[in-house]
Amino acid sequence: MLPITLADWLAYIERQHPRSIDMGLERVREVAGRMRLGRPGRHVITVGGTNGKGSTVAFIEAIARAAGWKVGAYTSPHLLAYNERVRIDGRDADDAALVAAFAAVEAARTGAGEGGEVALTYFEYGTLAALWLFERSDLDLAVLEVGLGGRLDAVNVVDADVAVITTVDLDHQDWLGDDRERIGFEKAGIARAWKPLVLGEDDPPSSVLGHAYAIGASTWRVGNDFFFERIDDARWRWREVGCELELPLPALAAPVQLRNAAAAIAALRALDATIPDTAWAEGVAAARLPGRLQQFPRDGLDVVVDVGHNPQAARELAAWLDAAPSAGRCLAIYAALGDKDVTGVVGALDGRVDAWFLAGLESAGPRGTSVDVLAGRLAGTAAGRGDRHPDVDSALSAALARARPGDRILVFGSFHTAAAALQSLASRDS
């Protein structure tokens, strides 16, 4: 008997493949073919990269919607509810729509007489479900965020009109390789022959540029084909040959968000579609994304929640702390998954944190870790000598008790960390 509720379906699809990650497109292509999936939208933009993918998707989506387009966005992971992963026309997909989509995937996956049953991972189920919903929504634009890597990621079953690679840095080395060149090659796999490839880094790996050249993809490189610069405390400028846009600063915090917004604008410009002048500014100002330096003023404190989980993200977090210092101390709550470079993350924040509160993430499943294991991996660092707490909620309680007016409490380390912080803050306000 098939599952009934969305929660039932999510539990079911978690059990259908022996490995949570199994790179390759053969399975998802087979089931997509059985589902007779067509294009998810009249235009398709695929966004990959180590960091900044979600923010770049948010900017693309907001600008296109400001232009009057009907947009679908597929992102991962989610923070509080699975529905966040599939947005259509600015709204998260409801439970009934996702249940119908999973049922369609399951019917194709197990279809008799079509070559036998196909085992799909959790992410592959979700990708096919999103594509099924998008195809039925008459979208002007589908924006697809890569889950892991690019070349062998499930979203790469779709041929994008424009591909974006935000950054390339070390993360998921067990799957993608242990240096930027190998990782860059995997991420460059989302590019298509003779189609635009937008690069958000000033100095992308040569493997990315080499792959683009080999397949004839036209690269749009920041600092070479398009440029961005801050004008003052309220405005910034995006420009390319023959086009200059003066725009408001994004509501999304952190200096890096100008770069993400610039890549998003380049991606939409590369579509060669008509977008009204007013939509650029409106979309940049309207883009929002929870868990990205999300601030919660509280009793004279500044509580900040961020999903940053690798050294590159921590370096950007450090840049934001430098650019927006607090009046008082910085108290950091850190909880990470077991496969992350925790010493690299903590090292990037060296000298910027006055007190550390480590927390366990054992509720995160097989990749979760206890606070004692985390502290052991951080032995010899300032964070390793910090307070230990079994979970994020108890760490937040301790930090709030110790904080004084003017202090900043920073909660970061993973999507699981951010989600736990958001839930804890919401429960305190209820």
pLDDT (tens digit per residue) in 407-430 = 999 999 999 999 999 999 999 887
CA angle 243, 246, 249 (to 5 degrees): 135
Show the low-confidence residues of the chain (pLDDT under 70). 18, 20, 112-114, 170-176
Task: Say which residue the tokens 């036209």 belong to.
Answer: 218
Write down the pLDDT at residue 173.
61
| Domains 6-286 and 294-429 agree in fold | no
Is domain 6-286 annotated with CATH 3.30.465.10? Answer: no
Write down the pLDDT at residue 172.
59
Write down the pLDDT at residue 165.
97
In the chain, domain spans: 6-286, 294-429
Q: Which pTM value belongs to this model? A: 0.95
Q: Which CATH superfamily groups domain 294-429? A: Mur ligase, C-terminal domain (3.90.190.20)
Beta-carbon neighbour count of residue 298 at 10 Å? 14
